[in-house]
Each structure stands twice: as structure tokens, then as C-alpha cells.
Structure 1
């Protein structure tokens, strides 16, 4: 019995010692993650504007040949309303033919290359935004910035391949925040002069441009 009492006394003392060293405070934590909006650009038809088979006989000596304009739908979908801009990069810049888009009243700043074949440059094309764009179903118009979005002006519709941000507005002055932007891009290609192309073989049109989303 005496041994049992001694053991109980030791246990009680140990418990008291433990309680005397217990922390006098407890931490409350507030956690979470602020995530920026994420937007994804999607082009119809997998981004391909296909002109199919073009007869070499349709090309002219001493003159460039403009192909019919075609349109492709661009949709930018965001997981939350966001103000965004678009930039467009010419992936075939080395194949630009100086002055080839002058015939459609678009200077070299708007001239995208159509690739090259056997050392010969195929031609160029111009991109432009069509009227009728919408942001979350509301009508918007294009605007352009030359200082990375600090200031905005009414857009001409034509898309430059460097130095400009393109966005859309409902009030004419500032980009609008939206979850879904829908617009049409018009493509106007111009083929090089017949004598500048290796027409004894297939000559592919190889235009390529990257559309990037910038968050404002």
C-alpha cells in the first residue's frame, strides 16, 4: 500500500510539473492565396487560316497579288473579370518583303512575313480587328497603347507586330474588365511578284504570329 501511495504521489507531482510548464498562449493563423485572373486566348480552326491550293498562273509578273480577305474568331476567356491587352509577335519577321502591303494601305509596321521558299520571300499579310467585338456580351471597340498600357487611344483596327498593346473599351478611353472577350481578326495576304518566287515547285504560305495576353 505504501508503495502504491508513493507512486501516486510521483504521478501527481509529474502532472503538476507538466502543467506548470504549459504554453501560456496559442497562435491563430489566417491562410489563403490571392490568385491573379488567368486568361486563355483561343483561335477558331486551331488558329489556321487556310488558302488551300493557289494556281501559280494566278500570280503576275511585275506585280504583287492580293488574296481575298478572310476572318478568324478570337476568344479570350478568363476565370475572373480582368483588364487585359493583347500583343502580336511576327514569327516570320525575317521573311518580310518591304512595301508589299502598301497596296492595301498598310505600312511596314503592319506587314507580317509569309515565310520563304528556296531563299525567296513568299509575301506578307496584314491583320486587323473587325468591328463588332464584345466583352461579356457588351459591345466594345478597339484601343491601342504605345507605352505598355499607361495611355490609350482609339485604334485604327490594324495590328502592329511590335511596340503596341491592343485592348477593348466600352467608354472609348480605358480597357474594360471582362471574363470573355470575343472579336474577329481579318487576314489580308499579298503574294510576291511571280518572278520573285520559285514557281517550278510548290511554294507554301507559312505565316505565323503569336498572340499574347498582357494583364493590366
Structure 2
């Protein structure tokens, strides 16, 4: 922090030389190129097929959980590496909750959301705790993948990210459909949820 002082002086110098001012004119670009490479891959090609759902299964006034599906996300690194996953909702404007949107009806009504609950995390045979953060500095225990919250791993009982090499996230994906009274269901409606888990090193 710079400290500024006020001073009164009666001495001066009269000079014909131009004045020189100290200016912070340095731009620094810093980073690290790492030889480690990590690849995130979902099981089943990242697809959850819900099949046909009858509108009669839905609740008229409340969200209805229609399916629970299990899926894995495996992050494989060429050497132990600390990383974070940024879950991006590709249907962000269609969600009726805090999680990932499912698309719209033909009348542009929001269909609902899907919720990837974290069942377990392991690095090989070693159990880990899932953690998340909004700024990649302050971490807390995570129970789900959520848009806007970075996801990483920590030792059991801790919340500090660690280096890992072969991490498996086991998710249970719960799908919720919005109340039927607010949806136009006079023809087939396509459920079109989509999320991208963007990986970054740090």
C-alpha cells in the first residue's frame, strides 16, 4: 500500500530541464506451461436417455422427479495435477431451479431442471471429498455439481484442493419436470438438457 504524506517546505530548485515523473508503465504476463494433461470423459458418451414420459405422470402444481440416472465423470491425468471443473449450463435460461435447464415447450415455457447429486469421488482406490467454490479460492464441501460453482477434490475431511491423477465422480442425476399446469402439453415435447464441464488447471 502506498502511503502519502503532506509536507510544507520553503526550498525549491528552478531548472530548465524537463520534469521527470515516476510512472508504472510495466505490463507483466505470467503463467506456467505444464506437461501434465487431464481429460474429462463422461460414461455413456455423456447421454442420459429418459425415454417417453406421459404427461399423466406429472404433478399439476409441483415439480415432479421423474427419473434417477447414474453416470460417471472420469478425469484422467498423465500425472498428479490439481484441477477444477466449471459446470456450464447450456440451457441456462430454461431452468426452473438452481441447476441445469431442460429446454422449453413450443410456447417457450421452462420444462424444469436436472440435478447431478455427487454420490462419491475416488482417485483410483482412494476416496476423496468433493469441494466447490465460486472463486477457486474459498472452497467448501460439495453435494452436487451446480452452474456457477467450480468443482474440485480434497482429502477426506478437508476442503483444500489436492493433486489427483485418476478421479472418478459418481453422479446420480435427478430430473425434475415443472408443474404441468404451467406447461403446454398438447403435443410431444422434447426434453433437451445439456451441460458442459470445462476443466482448468491451477
State the TM-score bracket (shorter-chain normalisation): 0.7 to 0.9
Shift of 1:35: 4.2
Residue of structure 2 equivalent to 1:57: 56
Residue of structure 1 equivalent to 2:105: 117
Residue of structure 1 equivalent to 2:153: 168
CA contact (8 A) 2:38 2:78 kept: yes
Shift of 1:146: 2.6
1:183 maps to 2:169: yes
Shift of 1:41: 0.5
- Pick the structure with more helix per residue: 1
- The equivalent position to 1:145 in structure 2, one of 118, 129, 133, is 133
Distance 2:175 2:134 in 1: 25
Distance 1:70 1:76 in 2: 20
Distance 1:96 1:142 in 2: 24
Shift of 1:177: 1.3
> What are the residue-to-residue correspondences of 1:73-92 with 2, within 5 Å?
73-92=72-91
Distance 1:206 1:139 in 2: 33
Structure 1 residues 61 and 173: CA distance shift in structure 2, 3 A: closer
CA contact (8 A) 1:136 1:178 kept: no
Distance 1:63 1:176 in 2: 41
* Residues 131-154 of structure 1 deviation map (CA, whole Å, 9 limit, x = unaligned): 2x1113211111122322x23222
CA contact (8 A) 2:102 2:113 kept: yes
Moved segments of 4+, more than 3 Å:
none
Shift of 1:65: 1.5
CA contact (8 A) 2:50 2:67 kept: no
Query: SS at the partner of 2:86?
Result: strand
CA RMSD, 1 decimal: 1.7
Distance 2:53 2:141 in 1: 37
Gaps of 5+ in 2: 1-32
CA contact (8 A) 1:69 1:187 kept: yes
- Normalising by the residue count of structure 2, what TM-score does the alignment of the two structures yield? 0.76
Distance 2:109 2:159 in 1: 43
Query: SS at the partner of 1:140?
Result: strand
Count of aligned residue pairs for this structure pair: 168
